[in-house]
Amino acid sequence: MRIVSFQPTATEMAYALGLGRSVVGVSHECDFPPAAKRKPVVSTSVIDPERMSSAEIDRAVAEAARAGRSLYRIDAALVRGLRADLLLTQNLCDV
Number of domains making up the chain: 1
Instruction: Please provide the DSSP assignment of 44-66 as one string.
Output: EES--TTTS-HHHHHHHHHHHHH
Q: What is the pLDDT of residue 91?
A: 76
Instruction: Identify whether 17 is part of a domain.
Output: yes
Within-domain flag for 58: yes
**Which residues on neighbouring strands pair with residue 86, listed in sequence order?**
3
Is 77 within the bounds of a domain? yes
Residue 94 in any domain: the answer is no
Residue 58 Ramachandran class (φ > 0 left, ψ -120 to 50 alpha, else beta): alpha
Flag whether pLDDT at 61 surpasses 80: yes
Per-residue confidence (pLDDT) for residue 90, from 0 to 100:
85
Q: Tell me whether residue 59 is in a domain.
A: yes
Q: Which of 15-24, 56-65, 72-81 has the lowest mean pLDDT?
A: 56-65
Tens digits of per-residue pLDDT, 12-49? 999 999 999 999 999 999 999 999 999 999 999 989 88
- Judge whether 20 lies within some domain: yes
Residue 95 included in any domain: no
Q: What is the pLDDT of residue 65?
A: 87
Rounded Cα gap, residues 27 and 53, in angstroms: 23
Mean pLDDT of the chain: 93
Structural domain includes residue 18: yes
Q: Residue 42: which domain range?
A: 3-88
Non-local CB neighbours of 3 within 8 Å, separated by 6+ positions: 14, 19, 22, 23, 24, 25, 84, 85, 86, 87, 88
- Percent of the chain at pLDDT exceeding 70: 96
Q: Examine the pLDDT at 7 and tell me if it is beyond 60.
A: yes
Give the C-alpha separation, 42 to 6, whole Å: 8
